[in-house]
Amino acid sequence: MFDHTMQEALHKATTMTRKNKNEFITLEHFLLCALDSDSVQSFFKDIAHIDINQLKIELKSFIKDNHKPIPRLSSQYNPEPTIGLHRSIERALKQAQAAGKNQISSLHVVLALFDEQESYALYLLEKNGLTPLVIMEHLSSQPDASSSASAAKSKDPLKMFCEDLNKKFKKGEVNPLIGREDELNRVVEVLSRKTKNNPLLVGDPGVGKTAIGQGLAEKSVEDKLPGDFKNLKVFELDLAALLAGSKYRGDFEARMKSLLSELKKVDNPLLLIDEIHTIVGAGTTSGSQVDFASLLKPSLSDPHLKVMGTTTYEEYRKHFAKDPALSRRFQAVFVEEPSSKECLKILRESKKNYESFHKVSIEDEALKECVDLSKKHLLDKKFPDKAFDLLDETCAHERTIKNNFTISAANVKTNLKRLYKISTDQVDKESSDIVLDLKEKLKADIYGQDKAIDELHSSILVAYSGLKIKDKPLGSFLFTGPTGVGKTELTKRLAENLNLPLIRFDMSEYMEKHSVSRLIGSPPGYVGHEEGGRLTDEVSKSPHSILLLDEIEKAHPDVINILLQVMDSGVLTDSIGKKTYFNNCILIMTSNSGAREADRGSMGIFEAPSSDFSDKAIKNFFTPEFINRLTSIVKFKSLDRTLLLKVVQKELQSLSDEVKTLGHTLEWTKEIEAWVLDKAYEKGMGARPFERFISKNIRTPIAEKLLKLKKPGSKNGSELSTLKLLLDKEGLKVK
Amino acid sequence: MTDDMSNSQNQNDSSPDAQHDFEVKEPSKYSVLLHNDDFTTQDFVIQVLVQFFYKSETEAHKIMLQVHNSGKGLCGIFTKDVAETKVYMVHQAAKENNFPLKCSMEPESDV
């Protein structure tokens, strides 16, 4: 009856009248509110060329002066439209009815106003030069929104709510199905049953369930179906179209009924419902028990109408299995992901489609690479979806961004790296150089831990050469040793040199039993269940990385037990059930246990080698199954004086580099180095005291000097000056 | 295309075009009057005046006497639209109460 502009205008007019405590909703109230809608405003501005603001001001002042508020409001106050407004609305409705339309907009009522002689609203409109002809012309030029809606009602429900897949296939809009013979045969078996011939395809997302449904249409059109299934007509249900626009109670049910009765008339129909778990609960109003699934149940038992559905395992469990009356009418057909060979075949068959769409040519090698790489690296997706994804993305990127017309295997590789941030360098030429040089580079940065670096390096060599054991992480190392000798530092350098992200967890944050839930997520029912765990999240974001767990001896034993799984099979399942794969990570744990014992030395006359003590301490702390799973325990030595001297030199060098960036140079003598070494040395504290010392006693005076130089009046600060570190009686000075 | 070309369209065609030839004038206000008759009670007239025209008791009484003595009384001056609605409401109420009370409206003559 009324379209949305009309409803809005009436509603606003009522509200305004109520607010003003006016007696009636007059024509002036209505006109003022009708002017609020965008379509009316654009009409007045663009077509009638009338200043709306002026109109509104005059209307408002008229209402204020002439429609006074009621002095005594009764409790039953309910403003009604005036006779004139009633009349105008009726006139507009009658006119629409006579013209065969069933909806009026506020403009129609404005047009009808022209019959209300001597109304102020009309006076205002006419004063501004509006004629009914202008409105009539405008309204006639509007596209008819209502007619399409009403016309749709008379159309065939099959056309409205379903898509004829046979027709679609004949037009060539459906991708052909390749392979999947077994699944198709099983589906045809189910369809040949006497009763409950409704197959339900269940499988992981991306394995090809919908494709099988479409493949049935293809086979039917090509007459490749066995026996009685010639002329199988496949209709894909559009549930959204069925639900959309159901206005009143029973509308949805009526649509369903019409659809089902139409299907009965068809000879050999198959109704394909994608994502069939959505029908459970669809179309219910609150309180009503009758949803789509319940309405469908009786038809499911009818062997004439065959219904085929697709869903995933999880959705099946969550929604479908809860309704046993529904699930018993279906026969589950499990769809597994195709093998790599099959997937390659599928890719080959679809090559033409991708080539014509992206206007590129794809080499066969590229297809093979897609299959291989996605199998190796995209572990949480399934074939053929992931292979197609990779191929599609590669084509899109190469074509649009790089304007490349041939897709080769190398393109696929670079795109995998770019998209999923996975380095496939493990057998690349450039990366093998990096790995071979790694030893030297690390030794240049970390002093005195040559043995440790050697061990680490040999494991990495093995991993990167491709010889690594499949299911475990690239390497699981335990770094032990006194504090401040370079354990964390070595890990950082390793990450830098190998270009891998470093994921760091400080285990002192996980000292309690429940901290495990922070790493892998809390169990269902607990707060934060949906969020997953930090460890699984970080690693799934960057599957090629170095995972550093600092101070592992501080973690709760339960946390350490989680790691057992990781080190053995390289998989961690979080609370939601998602699996994270660690087999491209390097796992490094640092610990200080054994350090104290090693330092203490032995009792008795003969000095036992200190390494024995640390070994014993480690064996005492960590469980045997943990130690057993480690690739190796890398022991870090404490640093002696020569090494510490090197550390001092390195620190001073980095300080001088910083000063250089500010435009000055720093000079010092060997004397200074020795002095620092003596002053700052703390037994057993490793390299850290030197940092602290240099920071306190050298950095601060230099900073002072730099600021003094910057001051205007004294030497010009931008001049390159040399700062000399000098030692005199009082201590260090900077000049 | 509308089927019924006869009634409303013609009216629309004639009057606005005719009005367009001369200047549009501001619409006048209308006075609403109540008329005397032999059957409607005084009480009812007062009730109408209070309920529909928001008069106080004394005012209503005064106007009622006017109606009774001079044959008609002024209830108020309103826009045509509102006046029409009030006339309608008075007639409805009178009919419900079985009184032949007549209410009319005329343009404000004393501008």
Per-residue pLDDT at A152: 45
| pLDDT for B104 | 92
* Mean per-residue pLDDT, A722-734: 67
Nearest by Cα to A578 from A542, A645, A545, A533: A533
- Give every CB contact of residue A417 below 8 A, 6+ residues apart in sequence: A423, A424
| pLDDT at site A426 | 46
Amino acid present at A476: S
Residues of A in contact with B16 (CB under 8 A): 114, 126, 131-133
Instruction: Express each pLDDT in A41-84 by its tens digit.
Output: 888 888 888 888 888 888 889 888 888 888 877 777 888 889 88
CB contact under 8 A, B24 and A117: no
Per residue in A601-636, pLDDT tens?
Answer: 555 665 555 566 667 778 888 888 888 888 888 888
User: What pLDDT is attached to residue A227?
Assistant: 65
Instruction: Write out the two tokens for A132.
Output: 């009914």
Q: How far apart are the first and last CA of chain B?
A: 45
Q: What is the pLDDT of residue B12?
A: 42
> pLDDT band for position A579 (50/70/90)?
confident
Interface test with B, best of A24, A82, A136 (most B CBs within 10 A): A82
Phi, psi of A573 (to 5 degrees): -100, 125
Cα dihedral angle (A93, A95, A97, A101), rounded to 10 degrees? -90
Contact A213, A204 (CB under 8 A): no
What is the reported pLDDT for B58? Answer: 92
Give the residue-averaged pLDDT of A279-302. 75
Q: Nearest to residue A564, comparing CAs of A635, A612, A625, A482?
A: A625
A126 vs B19: CB contact, 8 Å cut-off? yes
Question: What integer pLDDT is reported at residue B20 of this predicted model?
Answer: 47
- Does the bond joining A384 to the residue before it have cis omega, within 30 degrees of 0? yes
| Pair A595, A614: CB distance under 8 Å | yes
Q: What is the mean pLDDT of residues A644-664?
A: 83
Nearest Cβ partner for B1 among A27, A72, A99: A99
SS3 A81: strand
- The beta-carbon neighbor of B88 closest among A23, A83, A99 is A83
pLDDT at A698: 82
Residues A347, A370 contacting (CB under 8 angstroms): yes
Among candidate residues A583, A446, A435, A547, the one with its CA nearest the CA of residue A497: A435
Q: What is the reported pLDDT for B85?
A: 92
One DSSP character per residue, A92-110 reads: HHHHHHHTT---B-HHHHH
Say yes or no for a CB contact (<8 Å) between A82 and B11.
no
Helix (H, G, I), strand (E, B) or coil at A362: strand
The residue type of B77 is I
Please say if the pLDDT value at position A150 is more than 60: no
Least confident of A5-14, A276-285, A535-544, B17-26: B17-26
Give the Å distances, CA to CA, from A657 to A129, A344, A647, A667.
81, 55, 15, 11
Residues of chain B falling short of pLDDT 70: 1-23, 110-111
Element (H, E) at A369: helix A364-377
pLDDT mean across residues, chain A: 81
Phi, psi of A714 (to 5 degrees): -80, -165
Which of A99, A100, A114 has its CB closest to that of B12?
A: A114
Say if the Cβ atoms of A27 and B15 lie within 8 Å. no
What are A118-131's pLDDT values in tens digits?
888 888 888 888 88
CA distance B100 to chain A (A): 21
Q: Using the beta-carbon criterion (under 8 Å), do A114 and B16 form an inter-chain contact?
A: yes
Tell me the DSSP string of A43-74. IIIIIS---HHHHHHHHHHHHHHHSPPPSS--
Q: What tokens does A481 get?
A: 């040793």
Q: How far apart are CA A118 and CA B29, in angstroms?
A: 9
Confidence bin at A172 (pLDDT 50/70/90): confident
Number of H helices, E strands in chain A: 35, 20
Residue A666: strand pairing partners: A723
The whole-angstrom separation of Cα A632 and Cα A480 is 11
Higher local confidence (pLDDT), A30 or A153: A30
Q: What is the pLDDT of residue B45?
A: 92
Give dist(CA B84, CA A571) in Å, integer: 84
Q: What is the mean pLDDT of residues A697-705?
A: 82
The domains of chain B, with CATH numbers, are 39-111 (3.30.1390.10)
Asked whether the predicted pLDDT for residue A145 surpasses 60, the reply is: no
Q: Percentages helix, strand, coil for chain A, rounded to the nearest 5?
A: 55, 10, 30
Under a CB-based contact definition with an 8 Å cutoff, are residues B92 and B86 in contact? no
* Residue pLDDT, tens place only, A211-257: 888 888 888 888 777 766 777 888 888 888 888 877 777 788 888 88
Beta-bridge mates of residue A476: A587
Q: With 50 as the cut, is the pLDDT of residue A593 above it?
A: yes
A24 Cβ under 8 Å from any chain B Cβ: yes
In sequence order, what are the beta bridge partners of A601? none
Q: Number of A:B CB contacts under 8 A?
A: 80
The two most distant CA atoms of chain B are separated, in Å, by 58
Q: Is a pLDDT exceeding 50 seen at residue A364?
A: yes
Report chain B's C-alpha Rg in angstroms: 18
By the 8 A CB rule, do A658 and A695 touch?
A: no
CA distance A103 to chain B (A): 14
Picking from B30, B75, B82, B84 by the largest number of A CB atoms within 10 A of its own CB, the best residue to mutate is: B82
Residues 6+ apart with CB under 8 A from A22: A29, A63, A67, A68, A69, A70, A79
**Predicted complex ipTM:** 0.74
What distance in Å separates the CA atoms of residue B48 and residue B30, rounded to the nearest whole number?
18
As a whole number, mean pLDDT of residues A440-466 equals 81
Identify the closest residue of chain B to A133 by CA–CA distance.
B13
Q: Are A405 and A362 in contact (CB under 8 A)?
A: no
Enter the tokens of residue B27: 């619409």
- Between chains, do B79 and A117 touch, taking CB under 8 Å as contact? no
* Res A148 pLDDT > 90: no
Decide if A305 contacts A269 (C-beta within 8 A): yes
- How much is the pLDDT for B87? 93
The 10 Å Cβ neighbour count of residue B27 is 19
pLDDT at B14: 42
> CA dihedral in degrees (A707, A713, A717, A721; nearest 10)?
-100
Nearest Cα residue in chain B from A71: B54
